[in-house]
Structure 1
């Protein structure tokens, strides 16, 4: 029997389907047309952003909510370099992302012949940001390369991976392989480490648990552990919403002195899925987070375990490790003052914040009160910075933003679209500043095209207010911090998107509920000084 043959592009689409891909984000071009050959007949949905950076950010937001890799499909050269910023954010925040790009034909690579979209060494460039990057020189290697890419995405610490396919390989005919999904191979804690951790936990009288984004999948296990130990649970930005409303929860940044005192006073700290990065633990760069003499670290990344030493490092995915620890933890009485310590830390953390920040946090509270099922996706803007310091999100994955790790402006709008595509049943609020919004304004059109229920909540403070304040505080005369903004309502109207400018924050709940009745996107603007109640 003659084996069935298809082009590399057609087989690629089938391999993506086999690995559970339902959506790809991309902009087609002459360097990727052959990769699109099989898409029209595929159940995979294609979303077209207005810029390749938007494709990457959409894949990021999609991955955070869907819990599986986001996929971006971009052309060689500028298409791929436009996507690198999004890959940098994904790498810093441990978000699984597959970027598939074209590259010029095989016989041209490295020769500098001036071909369209040519780079000196595209693969070498990508290796600096991707966890894995491969140039498909042999068409028959496609199934193995796709499997390896997904194995990297699903096994270890997540991040971006990259496959580039030369234009002359895309149209090559290959035998259709047996379709199979890549398998996750995650490290699990060894029994000896779990017994040692259990002994340390049993001996502790003032334990504290620190949770990062890597702990989200272990939320139920972390709750049980916290209750068994009577341990306050501190959540970083990417873990915010875990244990929502629990008396042991401290939804505040470890950059705050109140949280640092809580950790310093503990006789045992259990850190789960957190890298101790600066944007969570040292936002003000004052190096004030305490040295923890009794630290258990649970992390999926051996390199991270080595970077911040612990008395007991445990290489494992979070869920398996915490579940295993619970299985061997001896019965005992929990710390009696855990809820009291957590309550004191919450109160003191809020008291540290400026009146302006507390007003901004009250706006976030109003958003969640108006739309309890919503997801807030933030850009780098002042209200988001305040929320990263303290925000009582109603559940895990209901608060995330780009004001962590890589810190890319313009992240919010496309990422919110990706999140809304991953979960169309929930309203998605894109909280974005007037400065950051101008990095990706045109993605309003992408939201309209895709019919996603994204509510763009624009926090307008007439420029880069955060940077202007910082310049003033450091004695630098502000310069370059007042970019003019368009009339956002008119811009939304140009895309057929309804908009509203609030006279008072008191109008916010009604505006959100009205926007939520629509099937597509909406825009609401809050001006920091012209909207009553937006500032202290």
Structure 2
């Protein structure tokens, strides 16, 4: 997180603080906007309503950009995509009641994937809370509903509390396991005077550092290993340099979760990929005498997506995680280190630099990785290889592309086959909470976060129908996102799942509209393609557009044109 650190910036904040202290007309809602500016917030997603208009009173005069989605779920997914690209919290202004229940799915996805998100909502006036009087947008306990989807959910009972509660939120985002935070402000508190409120951002705590003794123990364990393996997750996304140095020093094969793709560069000889659910990679992990798991839940959707319980760790397990409780879930460690991944890996590297590499291990990791990758690739079926060609076409035609995926067949294939060139370049909703409709709004958020990079939303026809109106949001916000629509005319993956279990498919062959006509009606460019050659030319054309481009690929046509 970047905070004001120059004399000028701090002076500006001090001036605002003085002005706010002396001007009785300033409200809590206006102070909130100034505080968010101080914490580096540049964009807010929300749909104004009668219960939130007072949050907007100070927005026009601020430096914060407001983006209006067409549904609060879209606001949450946009904030999620923005946060995954920047590492900073995505911020939403959400109305009481239905606005909050609408955004709940997006908050749950962010919670499952440890994504920083700040959701600021209104709520009924303090004297009306929990009254059951049937007030507009009333819930029995809005705060209670969202406590389970957040690091914390707080009801602001006085304007004076605001700086402290925001400081707690940004401490979570900066210094702990990042997850959504919900702050609800009663209608009478939003308009309350903010006299004397200190609105400069506070100094946030440092991320937890590893105990020196635990680092020494981990170094001893790893340096003595003959067959070490590293399992890295999204919690290590800021530690690419340290992870690479450690892997090369240990000559250890490295597997990456979906949210960790890119931590080792494409083609690195120690990169296994994200195939922990496949037999060949499971065998590699099972034969390791020491496994280092860093910033990973060791959860089902990264290690057992085939749901057979076949992933096993037989060697000693060293775990590093910023969340102490997570260290005790799924696989119990022989050595547990509560620490920020970057700090802990840097300390491990520093310790191991003082020791000579184990000669018996020289070259073992690269040879084992090459054999594993070859065996994995040999097992891919024709549809998987054809969809791999689709993703390879995207990355070759659009250098530096960020691919934001939904729950759709090419994304499932890419989770196995694709090696991202850099961190924060491949993410999707098929892991963790696993929702549909994520890709389009999350892609909008990603493009807003990285306007100079190409961003592709890879989504299926079923998922796109969940959040299709967000095309209007992208046009309105002038976000030239590329939407690559994989159309198999229904819920194809679920249909296949039902057939494999001898269940007559019901509810999966849904009506599919004319997406090209719909996209053009929203003001987007739109085209249908069937081959890699045409796709490349249309991708290049799309990068020159100032509006979103929808490129439809019909699955059957692609498979005919691009056999394995």
For normalisation by structure 2, the TM-score amounts to: 0.93
Q: Distance in 1 between matches of 2:167 and 2:141?
A: 24
1:248 aligns with 2:267: no
- Quick check: 1:64–1:95 contact (8 Å CA) kept in 2? yes
- Quick check: 2:523–2:547 contact (8 Å CA) kept in 1? no
Aligned to 2:302: 280
Deviations 1:94-114 (A, max 9, x none): 000000001011111111111
Aligned to 1:352: 379
Aligned to 2:155: 135
- Quick check: 2:393–2:532 contact (8 Å CA) kept in 1? no
Q: Distance in 1 between matches of 2:230 and 2:497?
A: 32
Structure 1: unaligned runs, 5 residues or longer: none
SS at match of 2:22: coil
- Quick check: 1:499–1:523 contact (8 Å CA) kept in 2? yes
Structure 2: unaligned runs, 5 residues or longer: 1-17
SS at match of 1:100: strand
Q: Distance in 2 between matches of 1:437 and 1:178?
A: 41
* Counterpart among 290, 299, 323 of residue 346 in structure 2: 323
Q: Distance in 2 between matches of 1:151 and 1:283?
A: 33
Q: Distance in 1 between matches of 2:314 and 2:277?
A: 15
Aligned to 1:451: 478
* Aligned-pair CA distance for 1:310: 0.8
* Aligned-pair CA distance for 1:178: 4.0
Q: Aligned residue pairs: how many?
A: 536
* Counterpart among 198, 201, 209 of residue 180 in structure 1: 201
Q: Distance in 2 between matches of 1:124 and 1:335?
A: 55
Moved more, 344-353 or 77-86: 344-353
Q: Distance in 2 between matches of 1:182 and 1:91?
A: 25
* Aligned-pair CA distance for 1:505: 3.3
SS at match of 1:250: strand
Q: Distance in 2 between matches of 1:210 and 1:378?
A: 23
Q: Distance in 1 between matches of 2:427 and 2:279?
A: 23
Q: Distance in 2 between matches of 1:32 and 1:45?
A: 16
Aligned to 2:3: none
Aligned to 1:91: 111
SS at match of 2:468: coil
For normalisation by structure 1, the TM-score amounts to: 0.98
* Aligned-pair CA distance for 1:252: 2.5
1:355-366 pair list within 5 angstroms: 355-366=382-393
Q: Distance in 1 between matches of 2:168 and 2:61?
A: 25
1:287-436 pair list within 5 angstroms: 287-307=309-329, 308-329=331-352, 330-333=355-358, 335-436=362-463
Q: Which runs of 4+ in 1 moved over 4 A?
A: none
- Quick check: 1:237–1:253 contact (8 Å CA) kept in 2? no
Aligned to 1:232: 253
* Aligned-pair CA distance for 1:397: 1.1
Q: Distance in 1 between matches of 2:450 and 2:202?
A: 23
- Quick check: 2:158–2:189 contact (8 Å CA) kept in 1? yes
1:462 aligns with 2:483: no
* Aligned-pair CA distance for 1:80: 0.5
Q: Taking structure 1 as reference, are residues 358 and 503 closer, same or farther at Cα in structure 2, changes over 3 Å only? A: closer
